[in-house]
A and B are shown apart, each in its own frame.
Chain A
Amino acid sequence: MREYPGTRPGSQPEYLHEAYRATIRRAPAQPPIRLPHTRSELTGPVYGHNPIGPADHDLTRHFAEPPQGQRIIVAGRVLDEDGRGVPNALVEVWQANAAGRYRHAVDTHPAPLDPNFLGAGRAVTDETGNYRFLTIRPGAYPWRNHHNAWRPAHIHFSLFGTAFVTRLVTQMYFPGDPLIPLDPILQSIPDQDARQRLVSQFDVSLTEPEWALGYRFDIVLRGRRATPFEEGAK
């Protein structure tokens, strides 16, 4: 029996999306085999072996000096398909610096590294599913996928949720970014509304006076209230 509903058509990318060239030799050619959900799929990693530090959610405080760039707050709720907050979910983020450069050996884009910015953070959702990060707005960067290819500004998100099958890795974008319609990675998602849900919203109520602009990004993981989490239902 499958306790987690399947994918709504168009709401997720396919593995092969030729405009994103790296998929051409990495997307499997065979269709995946549908699995029943056993105890192996319904359980999943439980966070807790690697405690979150008090500044892990604040990417502007990882060094003695603040990083370059526009300070922003990125916050939202992690929800299930019934709109219930998912508590105690690990949220990991990573991003380029304000100049569009990652602190990674393979990123050779000739933009400056910022000695005061690592670009990685972690948080755990509270009892109602809320998370909050403080960071700087990342820059766009070129990526050689095609002529004059530039990634829109984005923040990578990684979440576990409650089961092996609720794993989600995605990217958050910024409203009004002119690169969005040109980006084969975001455009790999067939459904327009599903793409739009990866674009954060400027939120004046999250914005802090004299301090930082606020962007809201809510995330929905697989799973429903009806999911019977007791032994007899398996």
Chain B
Amino acid sequence: MSLIPTASQTVGPFFNFALTANPSLGILARAGARGERIRLAFRVIDGDGAPTPGDALIELWQADARGRYGHALDPRSGDADPNFHGFGRLETDAHGECVFETVKPGPVSDGGGAAQAPHINVTVLARGLLKPLYTRVYFAGEPANAHDAVLALVPEPRRATLLARPVAGQPDTWSLEIRLQGEAETVFFDV
């Protein structure tokens, strides 16, 4: 039997009472979580430079501070940080922004013996998106970025769209703008 996966449809503008009513889904690192705690701020803007006012949501999936995913397919999952939950989900506010509380992930195996640079997997859903957009967050200044196989797939001038940068005057806070379309459009992936 070979079935065809069900077609995607937009999440629409009215998801928040079902999907993002629980703001604790923005907190991946609970008390006692290992590693470097960070706040990761996103801003989502469209092709006109306008923010997505409450009608987009961002989901994160990431490894813990030592690069372990809390999932059975990670052979080290048994040793994953019990105080870290790798999934987060927030809606963007009236300014197109949301902020997650997490830890900086460790390097993750690519499954073949090489390490991937620390990164966070991101899904963007919104009114006007008929299917999810997938991207990754890397960290500016991270030496391992130079050897990351996924970053190497991205034309060099566009790599900066994937790099979160420290926010001046706000310790431990990183930010990234997700530009859906147009100048400096974020790199999205076909997964």
Interface residues of A (CB under 8 A from B): 7-8, 11-15, 17, 20, 22-46, 49-50, 79-83, 92-94, 96, 102-104, 106-107, 118-121, 156, 158, 163-165, 167-171, 185-186, 188-189, 194-195, 197-198, 219-222, 229, 231, 234
Contacts and interface: CB of A to CB of B under 8 A. Distances in A.
A28 B126 CA distance: 13
Contacts of A34: 153, 189-190
Interface string B153-191: 110000000000000000000000000111001111111
Contacts of B185: 28-30
A92 B19 CA distance: 8
Given A40-B119, A164-B121, A167-B123, A15 B131 contact: yes
Contacts of A81: 2-5
Interface in B93-152: 108-112, 116, 119, 121, 123, 125-134, 136, 149-150
B8 A169 contact: yes
Contacts of A94: 14-15, 17-19
B87 A45 contact: yes
A221 B6 contact: yes
Given A27-B180, A188-B130, 14 more contacts: A15-B130, A29-B182, A33-B153, A36-B110, A39-B69, A39-B108, A39-B111, A46-B70, A92-B18, A118-B17, A164-B123, A197-B4, A220-B5, A231-B75
B127 A22 contact: yes
Contact of B9 (A83, A165, A167, A170): A170
A156 B11 contact: yes
Interface of B: 1-19, 21-22, 46-48, 50, 52, 54-55, 59, 61, 63, 69-75, 85-87, 108-112, 116, 119, 121, 123, 125-134, 136, 149-150, 153-154, 180-182, 185-191
B7 A33 contact: no
Contacts of A167: 59, 123, 132
B8 A13 contact: yes
Contacts of A32: 133-134, 188-190
A197 B11 CA distance: 18
Nearest to A170: B9
Contacts of A40: 61, 63, 69, 108, 116, 119, 121, 136
A106 to B, nearest CB: 6
Contact of A229 (B22, B73, B128, B186): B73
Contacts of A17: 130
B6 A220 contact: yes
Nearest to B116: A38
Q: A-B pairs with the 10 shortest C-beta distances?
A: A234-B111, A22-B128, A94-B18, A120-B18, A45-B87, A26-B128, A43-B71, A13-B130, A83-B1, A32-B190
B97 to A, nearest CB: 17
A220 B4 contact: yes
